[in-house]
């Protein structure tokens, strides 16, 4: 990470996009992809930003879950002022869901998570014995391995 960017002009553009090129057209993307492949500095930054995106999604999910749980507990126990506590819990849930949606829309976090899931599935698939692999439906095999 201490390394300097090999092409600061391209690096600056990438930084402005938070190193997210998933929304670019394919022919535009290749230049930046090759820069990311060559430049250790930008690759490190890109990784860091994706970790932050996924972290935010995870935090918003946990927060939404906690508020929902709080709502359930209040609803179940029915303490005094239950109505206002329920409203507060629901408002917290709604806010968490909004943040979740915002992060999901504004960052490539869903793509990152999907890629990680695919990578995990591929690795698990590679570990399966040959005979089981052969028995899996063709479609599923293509989906997992991409070949
Ligand atoms: Zn760079």
- Mean pLDDT of each 10-residue bin along the chain, 147 residues long: 83 92 86 94 94 93 96 90 92 95 87 84 86 82 75
Q: What pLDDT does residue 74 have?
A: 92
| SS3 at position 79 | coil
pTM for this model (two decimals): 0.69
- Compute the distance from residue 26 Cα to the ligand 1 centre, in Å: 19
- Compute the distance from residue 43 Cα to the ligand 1 centre, in Å: 7
> Concatenated DSSP letters for 5-58?
PSSHHHHHHHHHTTT--TTS-HHHHHHHHHHHHH-HHHHHHHHHHHHHHHHHHH
- Compute the distance from residue 41 Cα to the ligand 1 centre, in Å: 5
Distance CA 49, CA 103 (A): 12
- Compute the distance from residue 138 Cα to the ligand 1 centre, in Å: 41
- Compute the distance from residue 139 Cα to the ligand 1 centre, in Å: 39
- Compute the distance from residue 100 Cα to the ligand 1 centre, in Å: 29
Q: What pLDDT does residue 51 have?
A: 93
- Compute the distance from residue 48 Cα to the ligand 1 centre, in Å: 14
Q: What pLDDT does residue 1 have?
A: 45
Residue with structure tokens 């970790």?
51
Q: What pLDDT does residue 2 have?
A: 54
- Compute the distance from residue 37 Cα to the ligand 1 centre, in Å: 9
């Amino acid at each position: 990470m201490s390394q300097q960017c090999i092409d600061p002009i391209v690096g600056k553009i990438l930084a402005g996009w938070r190193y997210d090129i998933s929304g670019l057209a394919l022919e535009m993307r290749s230049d930046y992809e090759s820069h990311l492949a060559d430049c250790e500095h930008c690759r490190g930054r890109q990784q860091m930003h994706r970790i932050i995106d996924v972290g935010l999604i995870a935090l918003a999910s946990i927060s939404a879950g906690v508020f929902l749980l709080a709502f359930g507990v209040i609803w179940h126990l029915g303490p005094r002022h239950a109505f206002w506590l329920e409203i507060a819990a629901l408002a917290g849930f709604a806010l968490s869901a909004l943040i979740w949606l915002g992060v999901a829309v504004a960052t490539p976090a869903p793509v990152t998570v999907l890629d990680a899931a695919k990578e995990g599935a591929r690795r698990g698939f590679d570990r399966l014995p040959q005979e089981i692999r052969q028995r899996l439906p063709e479609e599923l095999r293509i989906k997992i391995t991409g070949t």
